[in-house]
Structure 1
């Protein structure tokens, strides 16, 4: 196994070698490889909740594209979202297994399916309300509905993804990481585009691992029919949110679980969820409000973690952001077309690496945690500028990943020939 030859070939304006040597790559191959990997880490890795039966295909597509854009700007949030669902799915599985015991094989796939809005209550043959996991279990216990006769195999059959399709995505990501490692071993230049793509690839492994058992691309919920029992339909409470229109600002939207006991300390997880909701609401997107026939896109209120799990999840999210930004910092001494672009990259990389820890410090030291409304308001006022700066830094880095391709040195086109012999897309 040897490194690529150090003799520089004659390169054309598009970065392609004049010779047909297999140890060199073109600018197009660099862009295509990174584009496929980023696509795998965003669009293909997203496991959205089931849409409402009233949503048009265009609305469903636009929602998926919107989540994809969010994954490009803040990919660590996608990984945290997946981990949050995985933690809550474990709780759901435990509760349902206690109830069903040996009569029904409830799996983690069932839990994910219920969490993403997989069970719809039908009344008189019409969809009435989506059933969250706790609703589903309560109604089964009350005898208001029958136990859904849906096996894990049937749920997987509804999914648009399987072990083979997901395995191909992981194969592409693993190959991309391996070939970058080989370039580092043989001291070959790596482009800024590849560094940015590597950051997506690392977080993608976490997302795919925790969402492995979650169905992908399910479009229709499983019908569960209301039975005539002593329980009255009007007495069933489906609302899991309250709205506190104090100043009619996005920061005044609070999950019910956070406002039931106003004397208790509000967790940083709830603050983070509310801040994210506030930001996306300002641009006219509502992903956390409940709908009668659909769970929230980012299921904030129907995920109720224990305090310890919530704190651990928050710390994991902070470390994910640090890892994501730290990977960009590895391009600190890379060649840039201009000095100004190098400074912009360095400043932006440092900011996205450490800003979340600064926000945590501000929250712990200066923001009271006893009054829910005051906590959310102050958090929004203090941290919102930092969130805008973070998004700006991500846009700058994403732009530089592309603009720096205009002036690559010949060493960036050399490659390790054996790396391309491995299977990849």
Structure 2
């Protein structure tokens, strides 16, 4: 699916240079009522409705807290919708990371002899689908790693819920999927048809096409994650959390006070923007209740070197480079055109820096550099001792080290400025469009006839 959309983007780039000339031969117009062709409202409505479907209806957020008010759930989804508009490529990154973690959970359970654990189980657990009820603490969610620990050590039996029962909890019906698919495909066909017939394409339509591209990629990565689940599965524990911690022995972190849930020593869901990064920056924190009543949606993905990492890199860079298609589009003023050029370069450069830093840091988080070091050098005692030192530092290091914060803070600010300008410009530029932008595609030219 990504390959089809990528081919469409490349075709748009090949033909759109003639579609939107820098200096149109005809006159320009502001607001245009619908006549025989299309009007400004048609451009706005088609684009905004598609953006809404690509953000609001396609976001697969984690399960909310048990007693959370509906208005809070609605506001959280609205905030994520805004974030998806500001950076749809990062939604794809979160979806990819969640898919990779779900696959790792399947492999972990399979190694322990539990073949009934599926990708849907992995997504469901990591989104807060399983709530444990210990004897001495409030109920709290457990992810796949934590549940695997409890099951393999006899604290609770393997959950009997099937993949089909998990999918029954999903709120995404067939009508919603068909509506999103039809609208996004129809919009893409219209944009492609305009490019083929060399009709001007607005920057708003080009931006919307980018949302379609990222939405299809996120849908593919979230294909096994249920949507808008509200009722989790409860698991009673006969043991107390104190007993679990005592019997954990000398496992790292078991003897320390927990930060999020009593099972942090197994996996502390690190790092999360709401619960870890914001407190360091003295912003408003996320859920303040402990144990955490829900899993936040912003856990940074640890993807590692895999096919999904390559797909993610391709999708993100393709989306960023898509803005270059409008390099020679018509803009109301020369200044706006120059600012668009600068914004395109900034978005690509900052995104590449972000991906490079995350790739390097993922190598430390997963111990990849230690393994490569052993492959490059003989396994003599000196090299083995160095690898042991590297492994010890890896376990003690912060998930997001200080050097990455120093680099990524200005990069994020510059990216945000460039992205904000592009979003504002796609609407501001509607005040002056070439006359050809209001011509409709002549579909009869695509129908074979004698």
TM value normalised by structure 1: 0.76
Give the alignment partner of residue 379 of structure 1, picking from 376, 400, 404: 404
Rounded Cα–Cα distance in structure 2 between residues aligned with 1:257 and 1:351 = 39
Give the alignment partner of residue 183 of structure 1, picking from 171, 184, 194: 194
Rounded Cα–Cα distance in structure 2 between residues aligned with 1:124 and 1:380 = 40
Alignment of 1:1-20 (within 5 A): 14-18=31-35
Change (3 A) 1:292 1:408: same
Give the alignment partner of residue 46 of structure 1, picking from 55, 59, 82: 59
Give the alignment partner of residue 305 of structure 2, picking from 308, 316, 321: 308
Task: Name 1:60's counterpart in structure 2.
Answer: 73
Rounded Cα–Cα distance in structure 2 between residues aligned with 1:230 and 1:14 = 65
Structure 1 residues not aligned, in runs of 5+: 1-7, 243-254, 260-269
**For the Cα contact (< 8 Å) 1:16–1:27, is it kept in 2?**
yes
Alignment of 1:190-209 (within 5 A): 190-209=201-220
**For the Cα contact (< 8 Å) 1:321–1:353, is it kept in 2?**
no
Change (3 A) 1:231 1:277: closer
Rounded Cα–Cα distance in structure 2 between residues aligned with 1:335 and 1:281 = 44
1:93 and 2:106 aligned: yes
Deviation at 1:280, TM superposition (A): 9.4
Give the alignment partner of residue 74 of structure 1, picking from 69, 73, 87: 87
Task: Name 2:40's counterpart in structure 1.
Answer: 27
Deviation at 1:163, TM superposition (A): 4.6
What is the aligned-residue RMSD (CA, Å)?
4.1
Rounded Cα–Cα distance in structure 1 between residues aligned with 2:252 and 2:176 = 35
Deviation at 1:200, TM superposition (A): 1.2
**For the Cα contact (< 8 Å) 1:53–1:293, is it kept in 2?**
yes
SS in 2 for 1:171: helix
Task: Name 2:119's counterpart in structure 1.
Answer: 108
**For the Cα contact (< 8 Å) 2:28–2:433, is it kept in 1?**
no
Change (3 A) 1:126 1:160: farther
SS in 1 for 2:57: coil
TM value normalised by structure 2: 0.72
Task: Name 1:263's counterpart in structure 2.
Answer: none
Rounded Cα–Cα distance in structure 1 between residues aligned with 2:122 and 2:438 = 47
1:416 and 2:415 aligned: no
**For the Cα contact (< 8 Å) 2:130–2:232, is it kept in 1?**
yes
Alignment of 1:126-137 (within 5 A): 128-137=139-148
Change (3 A) 1:66 1:353: same
Q: CA-to-partner distance for each residue in 1:23-64, whole Å, 9 max, x for gaps?
A: x11211111111111112211111111111132222222221
Give the alignment partner of residue 339 of structure 2, picking from 334, 339, 344: 344
Q: CA-to-partner distance for each residue in 1:9-36, whole Å, 9 max, x for gaps?
A: 9999631244xx3xx1121111111111
Give the alignment partner of residue 321 of structure 1, picking from 313, 316, 321: 316
Task: Name 1:267's counterpart in structure 2.
Answer: none
Change (3 A) 1:412 1:277: farther
**For the Cα contact (< 8 Å) 1:275–1:379, is it kept in 2?**
no
Task: Name 2:4's counterpart in structure 1.
Answer: none
Task: Name 1:251's counterpart in structure 2.
Answer: none
**For the Cα contact (< 8 Å) 1:173–1:201, is it kept in 2?**
yes
**For the Cα contact (< 8 Å) 1:348–1:393, is it kept in 2?**
yes
**For the Cα contact (< 8 Å) 1:108–1:213, is it kept in 2?**
yes
1:145 and 2:156 aligned: yes
SS in 1 for 2:234: strand
Deviation at 1:235, TM superposition (A): 3.9
Change (3 A) 1:231 1:96: farther
Deviation at 1:175, TM superposition (A): 1.8
Query: Once structures 1 and 2 are overlaid, which stretch shifts more, 371-380 or 393-402?
Result: 371-380
Q: CA-to-partner distance for each residue in 1:178-222, whole Å, 9 max, x for gaps?
A: 211111101111001001111111111110001011000011211
Alignment of 1:249-264 (within 5 A): none
**For the Cα contact (< 8 Å) 1:146–1:224, is it kept in 2?**
no
